[in-house]
Amino acid sequence: MIDFYWYPKCSTCRKAKAWLDENQVKYNQIDLVETPPTAETLKALWQKSGLPLRRFFNTSGIKYRELGLKDKLEDMPEDEAFKLLASDGKLIKRPLTTDGNKVTLGFKEQEFEADWK
């Protein structure tokens, strides 16, 4: 079973959810804004993902721009970055999909095909 963190108003999230449904993938649906993952969970997922920490941020989001994170992330301690992500689900790149081992951020059909089918 995978955890599918999404924001229902996000068109990319809705496309990813439709793909999961069409491919009959079982998932635990979690509202990213109402129930964001904890800092500890995010850190564990980041470590397993092998992705740069910046990829976990919704860099096109309003909150990201308001906080000026583009210039601050480079020098921000990891623990502070994880606490920040956990404090506001809209800062997290969405959808965030994981089975506890694999992690995908955003929705690219080829990635979902490879990881979740």
pLDDT of residue 98: 97
Q: What is the DSSP code string of 23-55?
A: TT--EEEEETTTSPPPHHHHHHHHHHHT--GGG
pLDDT of residue 73: 93
Strand pairing of 96-98 and 27-31? unpaired
Distance CA 16, CA 70 (A): 26
Q: Which CATH number fits domain 2-116: 3.40.30.10, 3.40.640.10, 3.20.20.70, 1.10.10.10?
A: 3.40.30.10
Give pTM, 2 decimals: 0.94
Portion of the chain with pLDDT greater than 90, in percent: 99
Domain ranges of the chain: 2-116
Backbone angles phi, psi at 48, to 5 degrees: -75, -30
Q: pLDDT digit string (tens) for 50-98?
A: 999 999 999 999 999 999 999 999 999 999 999 999 999 999 999 999 9
